[in-house]
Amino acid sequence: MAGQQSSILIGYLTEVRGDGMEARIAEEHLGDLPLINIDGEDMLAGQIGSYTVIRQNHISVLALIFKTWGEDRFDAEGQRYTDRFIALIPVGEIQESGAFLRGVRHYPTPGAKVYAVGLEEINAIFSKFREYNFFIGQLASHKDYHLSLDLRALFGRYFAIVGQSGAGKSWTVTSLIQNTIKAMPKAHIIMLDLHGEYCWKDKLGNIQSAFPDDMVQYVDAMEMEMPYWMMTYAELVGLFIDREDKGATLQMSFMREVLQQLKRKEAKQIGLASVSIDTPIYFPLAEMYMQFKNANEERKDFGKSVGALFGQFDEFLIRMQSRFNDVRYDFLLKPKHRNHSASMADLLRQFIGLGEKKANITVIDLSSVPTDVRPAVSAQVGRLAYEFNYWNPSRRDFPITLICEEAHAYIPREKGGQFEGTKKMMERIAKEGRKYGVSIGVVSQRPMELSETMLAQCGSFICLRTSNPDDQAYIKGLVPEAEGDLTDILSSLGRGEALVLGEAAPLPTRVQIYRPNPEPKSNDVDYYGGWRLGPDDLNVEEIVNLWRTQTRKLISISSSIIINCTGSLVVTISANFLINRAVTINNAKLPQCCLPLMCAS
């Protein structure tokens, strides 16, 4: 890199601190259009987001401009002059050999010269990551430069994608995964898709996806059976026992005894030599219920006396019965296919993408799952991924990444409540998963509401537009102190534009993420079209029935339809019309054949 050093001086250091520097722009660049040309590219001297290098003796520090301002001064005759200043964030040192080292060990002093950095110098810094061929977007300061990240650091050290609603999180996730499978065709990714954005069914029941068909497997969480007998003792306690109940300790002790008895019986039948309370083998839940019921109603001496546990399990039996009667838990408590121990291998094959259809990406669609049941499903998915590779002898050659969309919804910062089991499982993966080849990528629009443990374990952050000052402050506290001031630009980022911080990039980078192709189904509701051309009536009785049966019926279209009514007038029809409904526009009734036929029934 020594031969590529920029010779365009743009300023001089005026102040040096441990977490930042300030410099005065040189006089020749104080005009209203301070253009400079580096490597054939025109740029403004001192532009926010551009890089500079500060040289003094053998010291060479790379820094990023994040703030610029002017200060007026007057000479003896009252003539006004404006000095321009820039604030710099040091990101690393460039050694004499040209190698870039993150972090600053040798600081320059005020008076050191500040030079502009061109594309060739940036390429030298990022060159060691380009061999991965994992390109995610274009540098905001150099549109012709395509940024590649360190795949080992991104997936091995965990990552977080944060940004407010509408900032482009779904696009970023999709683009990231699309480019991941291009760079690593044997990747293994499991996605928790809360809104059906990455895989969905069309009206004919065909699977549509934002990923190549031969690389993705769609799993509807409502159709996927994750049987109760694969749950740990602690998870079963959380499902059936209220810890605040005065008899909770007795209920837990009796459940442990019953589970051990039932599992020992099953182990003997399948030829398993030893068994623990958490061994994932089948046991009949109805038999466990009956043992609790019999103990709760036990009488002796022809009804003259009662058993030791008489009446102790009333609350437990009511709670367990309510779970049985709740159709939302059928996927867990009433398995139709996974009702024997031998079915576990098939479930794991489907889950990991090693079933009849080999897949790199398993998308678990949670959009049809009621909100308060999602934590239970998410906990099971996380635990299956963790336990699979924990016991996998080939885990070093078969790493798995679990991507948690809208993670704040089921891995919250708050303690206790219905999310506690999910939170503990995901935090366990965050703390221990790396050793067993299981990593996590969390996606959230409210990082302040997300588990602190989860974010603390993330080594890389892809930060999209964030306007909430509390979230900005929280993100600032997560990144290294020297890079914290960069978070001030989060509110000014455009759609799909991100600030990449952490170990996956050699230095903090503002990048425009590639637009995914194909795109996820993350279109917002069209209020304008719906309120102008929407239906005049709805089948409210059907809505009530769907609500009561906890069933979602998708009747949305991913894009608007253009209909030419008169040859010159083009009208956009919103995506909310039913197939059997004719539409009248400008007094012209359109026949059924002109209506969109893309509604999923």
Same domain, 318 and 421: no
Find out whether the peptide bond into 110 is cis, omega within 30 degrees of 0: no
At residue 577, the pLDDT reads: 34
Could you tell me if residue 344 is inside a domain? no
Backbone angles phi and psi of 90, in degrees to 5:
-70, 135
What is the rounded distance in angstroms from the CA atom of residue 590 to the CA atom of residue 90? 64
User: Along the chain (601 residues), what's the average pLDDT of each consecutive run of 10 residues?
Assistant: 66 91 92 83 85 91 90 86 91 83 89 88 79 88 84 92 91 94 93 89 83 90 84 86 86 94 94 91 94 88 74 90 86 88 90 88 86 79 90 93 89 75 84 92 91 90 91 81 72 89 86 92 79 91 84 52 39 36 38 35 29
| Tokens read off for 210 | 């934002």
- CATH code of the domain containing 159: 3.40.50.300
Domain count, the chain: 4
State the Cα–Cα distance between residues 413 and 434, nearest whole angstrom. Answer: 22
Q: Tell me how crowded residue 30 is: count the other CB atoms within 10 A of its CB.
A: 16
Is there a single domain that holds both residue 284 and residue 418? Answer: no
> What is the rounded CA–CA span in Å between residue 403 and residue 158?
10
pTM, whole model, 2 decimals?
0.78
In a domain, 192, yes or no: no
| pLDDT score of 562 | 38
Question: Does 172 lie in the same domain as 84?
Answer: no
**What does the pLDDT read at residue 94?**
86
Q: What's the pLDDT at 522?
A: 67
The helix (H) or strand (E) run that includes residue 348 is helix 344-352
Can you tell me the distance from the alpha carbon of 479 to that of 463, in angstroms, rounded to the nearest whole number?
11
Same-domain status, 249 and 166:
no
Do 47 and 78 lie in one domain? The reply is: yes
Last residue of a domain, one of 95, 128, 161: 128
Question: What integer pLDDT is reported at residue 465 of this predicted model?
Answer: 93
If asked whether residues 382 and 506 sit together in one domain, one would say yes
The one-character DSSP state at 591 is P
Q: Where does residue 56 fall: left (phi above 0), alpha (psi -120 to 50 degrees), or beta otherwise?
A: beta
What residue numbers bound the domain in which 305 lies? Answer: 229-327
Q: Per residue in 421-438, pLDDT tens?
A: 778 888 888 899 989 999
Pick the last residue of a domain from 513, 540, 563.
Answer: 513
49 and 12: one domain? yes
Contact 69, 22 (CB under 8 A): no
Alpha-carbon distance of 432 to 457, in angstroms, equals: 10
Among candidate residues 102, 128, 154, the one where a domain is terminated:
128
